[in-house]
Structure 1
Amino acid sequence: MAIRKHRAGELVIEQTRDFALVRAMLARGGLTTDRIEWPAACYLVAYFGDDAIGVIGVEPKIDAALIRSLYVDESMRRRGIGAALVAAARKAAHTRGARHLYLFSTDAGEFFARHGFAVVPVADVVAALPGVPQVEFYRARPKELAREVAYHLDISADGVIER
């Protein structure tokens, strides 16, 4: 359920603690919902009007954060919603103190590369984010972790005003 009424045809991204909504959306995308209730996690939902059409998670840890589980409804893809969710996640990570943003992906690498992410060794993500639920999920499943591709984006200059 949306926090506030939205206007028809308007895209709005809001932070949510509605884990039933997040769980349902991630399940539609075939994504894991393991430990989404982790207290430090932040979930952002994209609404088109009052319809929840996309979600992204951020799992922060000191000076790094992990993007977890980007999903946009099939019927709403190719409209910039994924890009808007990534931008919102980047901002959420930065405001939580992250200087580095990571993610795992097996099939969306081209999308994330267009947003500045570069491939890094999976071990870099595991070392940077110990204890973060998505990292621990994969550490407990080495065969799945071996199939993942890791990505990194330096966000240390986000918000810096240059004169």
Structure 2
Amino acid sequence: MAADLPSIEKLLSENGLPTDGVAERLSTFFVADAGSVGGVIGMELSGAAAMLRSLVVLGERRKQGLGNALVDYALAQSRKERATATYLLTNTAADFAARWGFTQIPRGDIPADLLQRSALSYACPDTSTCMKLGL
């Protein structure tokens, strides 16, 4: 997976997503791979809460179900880690996240320890939509 780090960071950067904290938490990033990094999603844990982050699919691989598969896999991993809720911050994917039952919440409802552990606490603007899914 370490060999994928440059490709992951490039894909995130090219799509306007933060790369902060990716290298440090690389073991909790999941890659859709078909010979190269076709898509990625990250998951950060703190206690019984999980944060999904950095979902992106390579342009030519979009509309093939990779994004759905990555979200499904990350949510399954959240459940496996015994998370009782999964959160996300987004500027563009609120409608996409709603397909899984994520609902909008105030940013202050994200557990402070989860937000503080996450690079998203400073990498996402205050205007980001905050969402939660109970597991």
- Normalising by the smaller structure, the TM-score range is 0.7 to 0.9
* 2:26 is the alignment partner of 1:46: no
Kindly name which structure, 1 or 2, has the bigger radius of gyration based on alpha carbons: 1
Structure scoring higher RCO (CA < 8 A, sep ≥ 6) equals 2
Superposed counterparts of 1:32-111, under 5 Å: 32-39=18-25, 42-48=28-34, 50-111=35-96
Change (3 A) 1:96 1:21: farther
State the partner residue of 2:13.
27
**What does the per-residue CA deviation read over 1:13-48, in whole Å, with 9 as the maximum and x for residues that have no partner?**
xxx344223212211212110121334860000013
Letter matched to residue 32 of structure 2:
A
How far did residue 54 of structure 1 move?
A: 0.2
State the partner residue of 2:129.
149
Q: Considering only aligned residues, what root-mean-square deviation do their CA atoms show, in Å?
A: 2.0
Task: Tell me the TM-score normalised to structure 1 length.
Answer: 0.74
**What does the per-residue CA deviation read over 1:82-113, in whole Å, with 9 as the maximum and x for residues that have no partner?**
11000111112222231100000111111110
Q: Number of residue pairs matched?
A: 134
Separation in structure 2 between the aligned mates of residue 128 and residue 153 of structure 1, nearest angstrom: 17
**Greater helix percent: which structure?**
2
Structure 1: gaps of 5 or more residues: 1-15, 156-163
How far did residue 51 of structure 1 move?
A: 2.4
- SS of 1:33 mapped into structure 2: coil
Moved over 4 A (4+): none
